[in-house]
Amino acid sequence: MKVLIVDDNASTREVLSAILKKLGHEVVGEAEDGKSALKAFVELRPEVVLLDIIMPGISGIVVLEEMRRISPAAKIIMLTAVDQDEITRELASKGAAATIFKPFSHEDLIKAFGRLK
């Protein structure tokens, strides 16, 4: 799958990219904030977006809502360090396909991508 990685931490983007490539996915782009994420989403048309919640400028939740407005069928997997049922429910209600909690494992990505099919 063609994937856009959105996270303000360069190391996190690097690790995600390496894992996704090993799993056979194509990383078509990266973004470090909400504004550049929305631009990349429109320009690159990824099949899947890995989207961090807490970023400078526009929050990942607002970006999620905007991406789903642009493309209601968008497959967006949220990344967060906050492991709470309430946040997971809120993200699902806003159209997130899955949520991965940091620190994440290789298996977490496999499970999240498995939910997309």
Tell me the CB-side half-sphere exposure of residue 4, using CA atoms within 13 A: 26
CA proximity to 37, closest of 1, 11, 73, 74: 74
116 in any annotated domain? no
- Does 117 fall in a domain? no
Tally the domains of the chain: 1
Q: Which domain holds residue 75?
A: 2-109
Tens digit of each residue's pLDDT (9 = 90 or more) over 52-70:
999 989 999 999 999 999 9
> Has residue 114 been placed in a domain?
no
**91 in a structural domain:** yes
Decide if 102 is inside a domain.
Answer: yes
CATH at 49: 3.40.50.2300
Tell me the per-residue pLDDT of 2-56, one tens digit each, with 9 for 90 and over: 999 999 999 999 999 999 999 999 999 999 999 999 999 999 999 999 999 999 8
Reported as a single tens digit per residue, the pLDDT across 77-88 is 999 987 678 888
